[in-house]
């Protein structure tokens, strides 16, 4: 895709955090952006307004993408509204961090449902359209934790590792339709997810592990998504690490 102009993008969980930065980056390039949210209605609507003030077309759409019917409805509503879909960014994610000794079965299921199964639900719903259109870009937000594991994150690590396997398989199956599928593995990025970690843990236990000596910004992830979409026509099935060197 040489330009974002006129394209339609869906970013799941785009009211805040990485999703918000990704939505802003795609909109600034000229994409019409669907800002999906689950609970963050106000932030999502505020983002849509902010983008409109800058002359960008965006719309907020509520859907809990961990629910297969809602995920499917989201994609259906996008197609009904815009008549096309070019870019699907599966960004929605949660974490419930506990050692396995303390982790409840429901907490395992919940994280896998939101972080991994949702990716399948949206892709499955968008598949017929992408195949018919013979073009499309799918980007799944995984994590370095899916590559290296992390103490107290068995559920999250499993879901994020699953995204990488899913991405490669989807890339193989969709290549014949000119649809690329890639994963991004961020390292620690400054969002609400990281804000839940106590400051002393960030300073004493996290920062010393990052060769570049700082956490990433949501904008750095947004730019990578734009790169994969605009300049990545020959990139598929890949995992792009944006992590300050914490995992090589
Ligand atoms: P965040 O600030 O906690 O935001 C999470 C986002 O996911 C919110 O927009 C939330 O929307 C959305 N979401 C959660 N459950 C959802 C559902 N069922 N349906 C739709 N949206 C849902 O987290 P973040 O740091 O931006 O994380 C974004 C993605 O990056 C996640 O997949 C995360 O695992 C990944 N990641 C983050 C980091 C990091 O250090 N921050 C590192 C590696 C990977 P609502 O508020 O509307 O519920």
Tell me how far the alpha carbon of residue 132 lies from the centroid of ligand 1, in angstroms.
30
Is 120 contained in some domain? yes
Predicted pLDDT of residue 2: 82
Of the candidates 177, 179, 149, which has an alpha carbon nearest to the alpha carbon of residue 164? 149
Is 80 contained in some domain? yes
Q: What CATH number does the domain containing 133 carry?
A: 3.40.50.720
Predicted pLDDT of residue 196: 86
Helix (H) or strand (E) holding 148: helix 145-148
Predicted pLDDT of residue 1: 85
Domain range holding 130? 8-241
Rounded-to-integer distance, Cα 139 and Cα 50, Å? 24
**Do 61 and 77 touch, CB atoms closer than 8 A?**
yes
Is 170 contained in some domain? yes
Query: Which residue's CA lies nearest to atom 9 of ligand 1?
Result: 13
State which ligand 1 atom lies nearest to the alpha carbon of 65.
Answer: 19
Query: Which residue's CA lies nearest to atom 26 of ligand 1?
Result: 17
Q: How far apart are the first and last CA of the chain?
A: 29
47 lines ligand 1 (CB under 6 A): no
Tell me how far the alpha carbon of residue 14 lies from the centroid of ligand 1, in angstroms.
8
Pocket perturbation via mutation, ligand 1, pick of 92, 159, 192 by most ligand atoms within 8 A of CB: 92
Rounded-to-integer distance, Cα 215 and Cα 228, Å? 22
Tell me the catalytic residues.
156
pLDDT tens, position by position, 72-100: 999 999 999 999 999 999 999 999 999 99
Tally the C-alpha atoms within 13 A of residue 121's C-alpha that lie toward its C-beta.
Answer: 24
Tell me how far the alpha carbon of residue 202 lies from the centroid of ligand 1, in angstroms.
19
Torsion of CA 170, 109, 144, 225, to 10 degrees: 50
Q: What is the DSSP letter of 66?
A: T
The total of other beta-carbon atoms located within 10 Å of residue 33's CB is 30
Pocket perturbation via mutation, ligand 1, pick of 94, 110, 201, 216 by most ligand atoms within 8 A of CB: 94
Rounded-to-integer distance, Cα 18 and Cα 234, Å? 25
Q: Strand, coil or helix: what is 23?
A: helix
18 lines ligand 1 (CB under 6 A): yes
The total of other beta-carbon atoms located within 10 Å of residue 123's CB is 24
Tell me how far the alpha carbon of residue 97 lies from the centroid of ligand 1, in angstroms.
14
pLDDT tens, position by position, 206-227: 999 999 999 999 999 999 999 9
Is 246 contained in some domain? no
Structural domains counted in the chain? 1
Is 196 contained in some domain? yes
Residue with tokens 């398989």: 169
Within the chain, which residues score under 70 in pLDDT?
none
């Amino acid at each position: 895709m040489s330009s974002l102009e006129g394209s339609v993008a869906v970013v799941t969980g785009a009211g805040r955090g990485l999703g918000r930065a990704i939505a802003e980056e795609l909109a600034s390039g000229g994409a019409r952006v669907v800002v999906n949210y689950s609970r963050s209605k106000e932030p999502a609507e505020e983002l849509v307004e902010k983008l409109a003030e800058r002359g960008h077309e965006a719309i907020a759409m509520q859907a809990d993408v961990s629910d297969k019917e809602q995920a499917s409805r989201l994609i259906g509503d996008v197609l009904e509204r815009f008549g096309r879909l070019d870019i699907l960014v599966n960004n929605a994610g949660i974490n419930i961090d506990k050692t396995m000794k303390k982790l409840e079965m429901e907490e395992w299921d919940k994280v896998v449902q939101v972080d991994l199964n949702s990716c399948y639900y949206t892709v499955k719903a968008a598949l017929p359209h992408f195949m018919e259109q013979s073009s499309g870009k799918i980007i799944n937000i995984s994590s370095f934790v899916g590559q290296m594991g992390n103490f107290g994150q068995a559920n999250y690590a499993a879901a994020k590792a699953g995204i990488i396997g899913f991405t490669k398989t989807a890339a193989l199956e969709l290549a014949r339709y000119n649809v690329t599928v890639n994963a991004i593995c961020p390292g620690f990025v400054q969002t609400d997810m990281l804000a839940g970690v106590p400051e002393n843990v960030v300073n004493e236990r996290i920062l010393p592990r990052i060769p570049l000596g700082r956490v990433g910004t949501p904008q750095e992830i947004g730019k990578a998504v734009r790169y994969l979409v605009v300049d990545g026509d020959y990139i598929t099935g890949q995992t792009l690490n944006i992590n300050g060197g914490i995992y090589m």
